[in-house]
Chain A
């Protein structure tokens, strides 16, 4: 029974979850359309507030309406990528699986945990509406800004997007480690970090904030690194005097910390177990 962990195995598993996603989508046309419409509306409604204000007032926080649109497109793309790669089965919201005692299901699979986490969240079809909206907004804003960037700029954009996605997921895993020890209290911590704090904050042009509030948002609670900071760099207005590679260094540091705390939490889990079990969310 193929025991080798190879790239082929990783892609094989991704293909499996992609097919399951497609099967789900094709099963019910009404449901698929509703799901796609939901993705579009959710994305547009979350972005429209700041954009409408920027449009009405000719820009805000030192950014023009088109620059704001670029930033909103960036944040929507980050959310879309998160959805596509980590959206299914609460992989991004891992504290739910830990808090509900569902990690046991993963320990029963003959695969390393990291491989399961890479593969199980893959939603290339049903998860893409937000990503498409985000990319559409980025392209539209570039037209509005009359920019025609070169290949290095596109490469930088991809790099900053990857950093932002990994930063968001790393942050979720860092905080979720608390759910190993306090499963009830921290079951929803990833949702709080991603959906309630960093997600909404990343939609604002944070230059409106005074430096005392701005610095924590690019360090302790890095919502600023999810859209505002990289957008400013890509638009040629690097903020705060930080180096352009700051998001990369920060993400690497965050992941080192997240892996360390998550492993500690996992050791705690296999040592003390979880006497809590709630169904739902891990096999949907």
Chain B
């Protein structure tokens, strides 16, 4: 455990090696991306439209939290990059379980952003009238299930990249397109037409972002959201472990 914590610490300090400027720049980009959404919700509210049972305040909280916790709601490890560079085999040189190393390093890289962007946002937004308190404490276990599911999904995508060695960028791009569309991080499912939200809610991607965000703003059925998250965790983790074990040979031999 100490080794993993130390690995996470190294990843965390590595993220800060170029100073805080890159993180601040990244934060600025996130805020720029948030601005049109905020005004979009305002415009829709001003039209007097039915926002799928959500109030404007809830929509604002939803979008702000989605931006603040972006990396946790859509876990992306360094494994696919390392695989592309033929470096993933290097993880086998360390006396630690490979997947735990990936988790420790990834979690380490989250910390600076959480401290320098998410936390200040959580403190500042209430001053601007945005509610940043969860409506139910079930939000926290839901967030943990999201992170856990995110690692399993990332692992599966990494295994696909390992399989399609020469086109891992395609897998990367495909994954982000699917998640942008299907996770509910950008547009809450309640706002989608044709009852699309009802379907997407039960897909694995829906369990990643939409579930904790909906619980945070007090929308959606707690039991069914958590049940879907538990179900997808129970299904995808064994699958991810199996695929990862099967990909080991290719992972190690590539790049050598």
Contacts and interface: CB of A to CB of B under 8 A. Distances in A.
A181 B18 CA distance: 16
Given A31-B164, A60-B40, A208-B40, A38 B174 contact: yes
A52 B49 contact: no
A35 interface: yes
A24 B173 CA distance: 19
B230 interface: no
A31 B166 contact: yes
A60 B44 contact: yes
A57 B44 contact: yes
A31 B186 CA distance: 30
A192 B24 CA distance: 13
A56 B47 CA distance: 12
Contacts of A201: 32-33, 36
A42 B177 contact: yes
A208 B39 contact: yes
B223 interface: no
Given A56-B191, A57-B49, A204-B36, A41 B178 contact: yes
B18 A45 contact: no
B20 interface: no
Given A45-B177, A185-B18, A200-B33, A52 B192 contact: yes
Interface string A36-78: 0110011011101100110111001100000000000000000
A209 B187 contact: no
Most central of A48, A60, A204 by chain B CB within 10 Å: A48
A61 B33 CA distance: 17
B54 interface: no
Interface string A123-167: 000000000000000000000000000000000000000000000
B41 to A, nearest CB: 9
Nearest to A196: B29
B238 to A, nearest CB: 26
B44 A53 contact: yes
Contacts of B42: 208
Contacts of A196: 29, 33
Interface string B26-46: 000100110110011011100
B187 A53 contact: yes
A78 B91 CA distance: 41
Nearest to A204: B36
B21 interface: yes
A47 to B, nearest CB: 10
Contacts of B35: 209, 213
A206 B37 CA distance: 11
Given A61-B43, A185-B18, A208 B36 contact: yes
A41 B181 CA distance: 9
B193 A49 contact: no
A52 B21 CA distance: 36
B96 interface: no
B167 A34 contact: yes
Secondary structure of the B contact surface, majority rule: helix
A60 B196 CA distance: 19
Nearest to A43: B177
A204 B40 contact: yes
Interface in B185-232: 186-187, 191-193, 196
Nearest to A40: B177
Given A53-B187, A57-B44, A185-B22, A38 B29 contact: no
B39 A35 contact: no
A38 to B, nearest CB: 5
Given A49-B186, A52-B192, A53-B44, A197 B167 contact: no
A264 to B, nearest CB: 23
B180 interface: yes
Contacts of A197: 29, 32-33
B29 A192 contact: yes
Interface in B21-78: 21-22, 25, 29, 32-33, 35-36, 39-40, 42-44, 47, 49
B47 A209 contact: no
Contacts of B133: none
B241 interface: no
B36 A206 contact: yes
Interface in A7-54: 28, 31, 34-35, 37-38, 41-42, 44-46, 48-49, 52-53
9 contacts: A35-B167, A35-B170, A44-B181, A52-B196, A201-B32, A206-B36, A209-B36, A213-B39, A280-B85
Interface of A: 28, 31, 34-35, 37-38, 41-42, 44-46, 48-49, 52-53, 55-57, 60-61, 184-185, 192, 196-197, 200-201, 204, 206, 208-210, 213, 280
